[in-house]
Chains A and B, each alone.
Chain A
Amino acid sequence: MTNSIGEIKDCDYLFVIGSNTTEAHPIISLEMRKAKNRGATLIVADPRKTEIAELADIHIPLKPGANIPLMNVMCNVIIEEGLYDKEFVANRTEGFEELKEAVVNFTPESYAGIIGVPADVIREVARGFAKASSAAIFYTMGITQHTSGTHNVLAVANLSMLTGQIGKPSSGVNPLRGQNNVQGACDMGALPNVYPGYQAVTDSNNKEKFSSTWGLEQSAKVGLTVGEMMDEAHHGNLKALYILGENPMLSDPDISHVQQSLENLEFLVVQDLFLTETAMLADVVLPGASFAEKDGTFSNTERRVQRVRKAIEPLAGKADWEVIAEILTRMGYPHEYCSASDIFDEIAKVTPQYAGISYSRLEQGSLQWPCPTADHPGTVYLHSGKFSRGLGKFTALDFEPPAELPDEEFPFVLNTGRRLYHYHTGTMSRRAKGLSAIYGEESIEINPADACRLSISNGDMVKVSSRRGSINAKADITDRVPQGMVFTSFHFSEVAVNFLTNSARDPIAKIPELKVCAVKVEKAC
């Protein structure tokens, strides 16, 4: 997030795209309600009529994958009507002419069909966004889990830069991160192309810095992403994999492929709380410690570094960091960490954004990075006065339809997401009695018109198949999904929707297109 959660309530124009905020980020949705109660305008673009969509002043039920057309049309209107922030565009950005040219044909009339609202409504939204004293965009996987994921994000950036709605309070671009510490894992360099603090491995200065800090010559070759690891394992090039607290056997697209890949490894180590679907395939399983059993920090979606405090002793006797540190030692790289705090001090040394943070400061309260020095108060919103690259660059983008669209054989679009009561692959939430009692069984949402056509009644078992596999689930007939779409979550192994999903990936970010694939739906016998 370029803004903070605390700024949301003061925002005048909230543009939520591809985020089921009330279910996936309930506490952020409370802040959105506060803004709305204050009189702010809420626009929600989502193919499904989610709760936040029902709360919206305008719900834009765009067709799956139509994110770039929507953004481009808004830019078109804003440029056409001269509503863009000329000063901001002139002083803080480059590439405006290219953008102008790229969106010239994106008139509201020509794209109203796939955007799902009349041209005038799109105009109204564009004007409102441009004119608002503060406007912020909120998005999640609804725009990123597409083969055009990176471009979708750039399209969002275009819109906010064009209107100057970034780099000031309550105005900015706000991806809401889905997992407790996905921000932190990225910050810490659990990525194939960067060291901690987003320092590129290809940069020779960084390579040198980390070679000397860690005492080992570093490789400048960008590593493999998750999906690529699976491919390489499948080809037999990847021999060993060490998985910490992840369950790709449920979370990753095209599970059959994942299974073959993991089985093809020579050696698989899995460290987890439970014997997950993935751990079942391992050669060695190391018991993990839950968040209650260890000290550490999580970094939330607004870059806020917060303490995790040990409340009870680790059930298996060791916190995860102790296990990893011991593996490092036994591999020939002894460590000197006596506590999680010691590790954090090393993090602060090599990560510029975290340089001013320490456990003793965190005892006084959390801090939002960048926090470069020990007396820096942390950063509430990003890009004030200057973007990280200097000038903000507009990107000319064109509509790129999803990789797999419905056809005669597979006439439905399958959309996937999250439920309020569960989390990721359900290893934690499904073992919580209260949550399971409230939501103990997954179903698949289907529009009443489609259900009627296929003679499916509420609660019937249906078989949903794609080119990659099929699953059975109970039908939940609801107009939350539009005609031609079915939806379910990936929380339940009984309804392992990722047997169906398409592993086609965005060429830049390598994110799989989990939001769109073609399926057929039949009544199960």
Chain B
Amino acid sequence: MADTVTLTINGQKVTVPAGTMVLEAAQQAGIDIPTFCHDPELSRPGACRICVVEIKGWRNLPPSCVTAVTDGMEVETESDAVVEARRTILELLLANHPEDCMTCQKFGDCRLADYAYRYGIRNTAFIGDKTDFPVDESSAVLYRDMNKCVLCGKCVRVCAEVVGRNVYDFTSRGFSTKVAPALDVGLGEIDESGCVSCGSCVAVCPVGAIVEKNMIGKARPWEVKKVKTTCPYCGCGCGFDLNVKAGKVIGVTSNPDSEVNGRHLCVKGRFGFDFIHSPDRLTSPLIKKDGDFVEVSWEEALRYTTSRLKEIKAQHGGDAMAVLSSARCTNEENYLMNKVARVAFGTNNIDHCARL
């Protein structure tokens, strides 16, 4: 087999490794082909057909995500036939999609809306029944509205292939087809559903069928500032985006560029951030006076603290003092705590809870 293949996409010559799919070849050439069911990390069902392209000499419009490139192939990604096919697919999807973009949490980051806009689908020709599934609100962290589902199956596959939980699968047939946990229990009935609330399904859902419950009503995607940072929980060191609006952290979303974890997080990383704005947070220094804590200024707290420490150092020496640093604070803070012990106190009495 030749190592590379040269083909033409939209008149542009592209050379890619043999075995590459047309979709990826186009992506490498900077050409965007819409996809619903395709995900580079998951198996390829080639099911949704939105990624169809026209290839010279082929009779049908093959889905580009599962069509391997061949030498000399001539591909058109936005020909009239392709656009017509995509429009029909979108019209069929929109015919059975709730019209609540105004309040849908996904709006602004929704592929269905993006493609409807891209192909200008204002009205659908296929008026008919609409599904009326009850919304699954049983999970403490996820909100599932199967009326918005486009049956791309990515949640099914990510749960089976990456997370290994196999919580979801397709149930029923035809128009009634729906993605559900076993026996159609609520996701939140974790003993039955087996869901560990990791939210990888949220990270792959292209529409508003699965969204983070804690972000509903807090902000639209375009109002949010995303700040990439590192998770404060276990030692894996996962990366994610803190979503900030008006000086408040309103949620955590996957950042695909995270070296350790990609888009995947556990329940703590994705949903464990609201301690940040807990009403229990201390916002002012406290000094214990006659057995009770009294709020004081930073100036007073620091003056009092350092004068007491200096007294004790003068009276008992540095080795009567110690520092307990933190495995939850930053390297910079731990380094400075080092200096507090070894310079300011003058002792090697410093430790942290590595052993716990």
Which residues does A use to contact B, with CB under 8 Å? 5-6, 24-28, 30, 33-34, 37, 55, 144-145, 176-193, 195-196, 201, 210, 214-216, 218-219, 221-227, 229, 232, 237-246, 248, 251-252, 266-267, 269, 272-275, 282-288, 290-294, 296-302, 304-313, 315-318, 320-321, 323-328, 330-333, 340, 343-344, 346-347, 365-366, 420-424, 427-429, 431-435, 437-438, 509-512, 514
Residue from the list B164, B308, B351 in contact with A192, Cβ < 8 A: B351
**In contact, B285 and A286 (Cβ under 8 angstroms):** yes
Q: How far is the CA of A317 from the CA of B297 in the complex (A)?
A: 11
In angstroms, how far is the closest chain B Cβ from the Cβ of A280? Answer: 9
**In contact, A296 and B331 (Cβ under 8 angstroms):** yes
Contact residues, B324-346 vs A (CB, 8 A): 324-344, 346
In angstroms, how far is the closest chain B Cβ from the Cβ of A37? Answer: 8
Q: Cβ of B68 < 8 Å from any Cβ of A?
A: no
Q: Cβ of B354 < 8 Å from any Cβ of A?
A: yes
**In contact, A344 and B234 (Cβ under 8 angstroms):** no
**In contact, A27 and B259 (Cβ under 8 angstroms):** no
Q: Cβ of B127 < 8 Å from any Cβ of A?
A: no
Q: How far is the CA of A43 from the CA of B249 in the complex (A)?
A: 41
Q: How far is the CA of A13 from the CA of B197 in the complex (A)?
A: 29
Q: Can you name 6 A-B pairs with beta carbons within 8 Å?
A: A216-B343, A219-B319, A223-B322, A242-B321, A273-B282, A287-B282
What sequence of 0s and 1s flags, for each residue 203-225 of chain B, a beta carbon within 8 Å of any chain A beta carbon?
00000000001100000000001
In angstroms, how far is the closest chain B Cβ from the Cβ of A56? Answer: 13
**In contact, B274 and A30 (Cβ under 8 angstroms):** no
With a cutoff of 8 Å between Cβ atoms, the chain A residues found around residue B275 in the complex are 273, 290, 427-429, 431-432
Q: How far is the CA of A306 from the CA of B242 in the complex (A)?
A: 15
Contact residues, B270-324 vs A (CB, 8 A): 271-278, 280-288, 293, 298, 301-306, 308-310, 312-313, 315-316, 318-324
| Shortest Cβ-Cβ A-B pairs, 5 listed | A300-B237, A296-B330, A223-B348, A177-B235, A245-B326
Q: How far is the CA of A277 from the CA of B277 in the complex (A)?
A: 20
Q: How far is the CA of A243 from the CA of B352 in the complex (A)?
A: 9
With a cutoff of 8 Å between Cβ atoms, the chain A residues found around residue B332 in the complex are 296-297, 321, 340, 343-344, 347
**In contact, A246 and B350 (Cβ under 8 angstroms):** no
Given that A181-B328, A273-B275 are contacting pairs, would A332 and B344 also be in contact in the complex, using a CB cutoff of 8 Å? yes
Residue from the list B198, B230, B287, B348 in contact with A201, Cβ < 8 A: B348
Q: How far is the CA of A192 from the CA of B348 in the complex (A)?
A: 5
**In contact, B213 and A242 (Cβ under 8 angstroms):** no
Q: Cβ of B70 < 8 Å from any Cβ of A?
A: no
Q: Cβ of B266 < 8 Å from any Cβ of A?
A: yes
Q: Cβ of B121 < 8 Å from any Cβ of A?
A: no
Q: Cβ of B196 < 8 Å from any Cβ of A?
A: yes
Q: Cβ of B135 < 8 Å from any Cβ of A?
A: no
Q: How far is the CA of A476 from the CA of B334 in the complex (A)?
A: 39
Known: A225-B355, A302-B260. 5 other contacts (CB 8 A): A296-B331, A306-B230, A311-B225, A344-B332, A514-B356
Q: Cβ of B44 < 8 Å from any Cβ of A?
A: no
**In contact, B341 and A300 (Cβ under 8 angstroms):** no
Contact residues, B94-135 vs A (CB, 8 A): none
Residue from the list B276, B321, B331 in contact with A292, Cβ < 8 A: B276
Q: How far is the CA of A226 from the CA of B355 in the complex (A)?
A: 9
Residue from the list A179, A214, A317, A321 in contact with B343, Cβ < 8 A: A214
Given that A324-B333, A324-B337, A433-B140 are contacting pairs, would A186 and B354 also be in contact in the complex, using a CB cutoff of 8 Å? yes
Q: How far is the CA of A237 from the CA of B336 in the complex (A)?
A: 25
**In contact, A244 and B264 (Cβ under 8 angstroms):** no
**In contact, A347 and B335 (Cβ under 8 angstroms):** yes
Given that A178-B235, A428-B272, A514-B356 are contacting pairs, would A311 and B330 also be in contact in the complex, using a CB cutoff of 8 Å? no
**In contact, B324 and A229 (Cβ under 8 angstroms):** yes
Given that A181-B329, A292-B276, A331-B310 are contacting pairs, would A321 and B301 also be in contact in the complex, using a CB cutoff of 8 Å? no
In angstroms, how far is the closest chain A Cβ from the Cβ of B347? Answer: 6
Q: Cβ of B239 < 8 Å from any Cβ of A?
A: yes
Find the A residue at minimum CB distance from B303: A330
Q: How far is the CA of A28 from the CA of B319 in the complex (A)?
A: 41
Find the A residue at minimum CB distance from B198: A26
Residue from the list B213, B234, B312 in contact with A434, Cβ < 8 A: B213
**In contact, B268 and A195 (Cβ under 8 angstroms):** no
In angstroms, how far is the closest chain A Cβ from the Cβ of B239? Answer: 7
With a cutoff of 8 Å between Cβ atoms, the chain B residues found around residue A246 in the complex are 324-328, 352-353
Q: How far is the CA of A283 from the CA of B267 in the complex (A)?
A: 36
With a cutoff of 8 Å between Cβ atoms, the chain B residues found around residue A27 in the complex are 236, 238, 260-261, 264-266
Q: How far is the CA of A23 from the CA of B247 in the complex (A)?
A: 32
With a cutoff of 8 Å between Cβ atoms, the chain B residues found around residue A285 in the complex are 282, 285-287, 293
Q: How far is the CA of A194 from the CA of B338 in the complex (A)?
A: 10
Find the B residue at minimum CB distance from A298: B230
With a cutoff of 8 Å between Cβ atoms, the chain A residues found around residue B316 in the complex are 239
Q: How far is the CA of A287 from the CA of B79 in the complex (A)?
A: 62
In angstroms, how far is the closest chain A Cβ from the Cβ of B268? Answer: 6
Residue from the list B282, B331, B340, B349 in contact with A275, Cβ < 8 A: B282
With a cutoff of 8 Å between Cβ atoms, the chain B residues found around residue A326 in the complex are 302
Q: How far is the CA of A327 from the CA of B353 in the complex (A)?
A: 22
Residue from the list A243, A298, A316 in contact with B283, Cβ < 8 A: A316
Residue from the list B235, B282, B303, B319 in contact with A288, Cβ < 8 A: B282
With a cutoff of 8 Å between Cβ atoms, the chain B residues found around residue A214 in the complex are 339, 342-343
Find the B residue at minimum CB distance from A179: B327
Q: How far is the CA of A30 from the CA of B318 in the complex (A)?
A: 47
Q: How far is the CA of A76 from the CA of B341 in the complex (A)?
A: 46
Q: How far is the CA of A27 from the CA of B264 in the complex (A)?
A: 7
**In contact, B333 and A244 (Cβ under 8 angstroms):** yes
**In contact, A242 and B278 (Cβ under 8 angstroms):** no
Q: How far is the CA of A356 from the CA of B347 in the complex (A)?
A: 29
Q: How far is the CA of A438 from the CA of B228 in the complex (A)?
A: 27
**In contact, B237 and A301 (Cβ under 8 angstroms):** yes
Q: Cβ of B227 < 8 Å from any Cβ of A?
A: yes
Given that A186-B354, A246-B352, A304-B259 are contacting pairs, would A298 and B266 also be in contact in the complex, using a CB cutoff of 8 Å? no
Given that A223-B350, A226-B353, A429-B268 are contacting pairs, would A309 and B228 also be in contact in the complex, using a CB cutoff of 8 Å? yes
**In contact, A428 and B298 (Cβ under 8 angstroms):** no
Q: Cβ of B232 < 8 Å from any Cβ of A?
A: yes
**In contact, A284 and B304 (Cβ under 8 angstroms):** yes
With a cutoff of 8 Å between Cβ atoms, the chain A residues found around residue B333 in the complex are 244, 296, 320-321, 324
**In contact, A312 and B247 (Cβ under 8 angstroms):** yes
With a cutoff of 8 Å between Cβ atoms, the chain A residues found around residue B273 in the complex are 292, 432
Find the A residue at minimum CB distance from B271: A434
Given that A226-B355, A244-B337 are contacting pairs, would A298 and B237 also be in contact in the complex, using a CB cutoff of 8 Å? yes
**In contact, A283 and B342 (Cβ under 8 angstroms):** no
**In contact, A185 and B356 (Cβ under 8 angstroms):** no
Find the B residue at minimum CB distance from A144: B355
With a cutoff of 8 Å between Cβ atoms, the chain B residues found around residue A181 in the complex are 326-331, 334
What sequence of 0s and 1s flags, for each residue 230-263 of chain B, a beta carbon within 8 Å of any chain A beta carbon?
1111111111001010011100000000011100
**In contact, A292 and B242 (Cβ under 8 angstroms):** yes
Q: Cβ of B81 < 8 Å from any Cβ of A?
A: no
Residue from the list A185, A309, A316 in contact with B284, Cβ < 8 A: A316
Q: How far is the CA of A321 from the CA of B283 in the complex (A)?
A: 16
**In contact, B322 and A241 (Cβ under 8 angstroms):** yes
With a cutoff of 8 Å between Cβ atoms, the chain A residues found around residue B342 in the complex are 195, 210, 214, 216, 218-219
**In contact, B353 and A248 (Cβ under 8 angstroms):** yes
In angstroms, how far is the closest chain B Cβ from the Cβ of A302? Answer: 7
In angstroms, how far is the closest chain B Cβ from the Cβ of A77? Answer: 31
**In contact, B260 and A304 (Cβ under 8 angstroms):** yes
With a cutoff of 8 Å between Cβ atoms, the chain A residues found around residue B274 in the complex are 431-434
